[in-house]
Amino acid sequence: MAAATSKSAPPIGVAHFSSILLPPVEFAKAAARAGFSRIGLRLHPAFPGAPYYELPVGGPAAGELKFVLAGEGVEVFDIEFFVIDPSFDASSMEAIVAAAANIGARRLSVCGDDPDQSRLVSNFSDLCGLADRYGLAVDVENMGWRVTRTFQDSVSIVKSSGARNAGALVDGVHFFRNGGTLATLATEIRWVKHVQLCDVAGPAPVTTEEMIAEARGGRFAPGEGELPLKELIAAFDGCAAISVEVPLTGSAPPEAHLKNLYDKAEGLFGPDC
């Protein structure tokens, strides 16, 4: 176990992308052994060809997962990942939203990639309405290579939607690499209910290819790079859920990778946080 700090860490979650090749049941078990009390799961592909897992309501996979979650003392917090592009149809996502609610999830994550802002907001609002019927909230995550590039872009969609269950997700790499600052966060912090920790170092990537490469394969465990993550955590003062998203690269065993992520994240909750 990690050494105790002078300020105890809150419940910490881990995104499925941190070890996406582990199926949900195995991921839940490995996350619990690492120390995490919450997990995110990927039930919809984030991009063409990306791994994801189906857990239809009433199916054996969902039933087994719920049994394992109860036994391990782990809960599902969020479900990824929906890209709201020009062809997006919220109604076609109902089976996934129902599956998310069935396993106890609380929030869905989306990104905006439609240059028609009015249509983007309308489709986001439709998804929020669908999610609300299942007791779920929806968070917009900005990404530098998407139309919704900055944190302010995410907040703008949330505000324009008027949805009571809409929020903006702050992911360390996407927030800081795309102009986000602690000062700008302070003015809009009420919209954020979920923060994903990761770290990076060096100059910010410029091209789309470089941004994607960093986000999907160039992240560090929290505290191993240059981002002001302690200050980011302190800004929320316990008012947002904390999770970690650092994709596994190289040959490290998933269990060792997840344990390192938990220990590094827990270490941020020290006397200076």
pLDDT (tens digit, 9 = 90+) per residue, 147-185?
999 999 999 999 999 999 999 999 999 999 999 999 999
Confidence class for position 251, pLDDT limits 50, 70, 90: confident
Q: Report which secondary-structure segment, H or E, holds 67.
A: helix 60-72
Residue-level pLDDT at 2: 38
Averaged over 120-132, what is the pLDDT?
A: 98
**What's the CA angle centered on 162, arms 157 and 163, to 5 degrees?**
95
Confidence class for position 271, pLDDT limits 50, 70, 90: low
Q: Return the CATH class of domain 12-267.
A: alpha beta
Q: Is the pLDDT of residue 273 over 80?
A: no
Q: Is the pLDDT of residue 6 over 70?
A: no
Which has the minimum average pLDDT: 3-17, 42-56, 74-88, 206-220? 3-17
Averaged over 40-69, what is the pLDDT?
A: 94
Residue 190's φ and ψ, nearest 5 degrees, are -65, -20
List the chain domain ranges. 12-267
Write the burial class of residue 132 (CB in 10 Å: 0-12 exposed, 13-18 middle, 19+ buried): middle
**Which residues have C-beta within 8 Å of that of residue 18, sequence separation ≥ 6?**
244, 245, 246, 247, 248, 257, 258, 261
Residue-level pLDDT at 67: 98
Averaged over 25-29, what is the pLDDT?
A: 98
Closest by CA to 169, choosing from 145, 187, 185, 146, is 185
What does each C-alpha distance from 120 to 124, 267, 269, 273 come to in angstroms? 6, 39, 37, 37
For residues 244 and 261, the answer to whether their CB atoms sit within 8 Å is: yes
Which has the minimum average pLDDT: 121-130, 217-226, 247-256? 247-256
Residue-level pLDDT at 272: 52
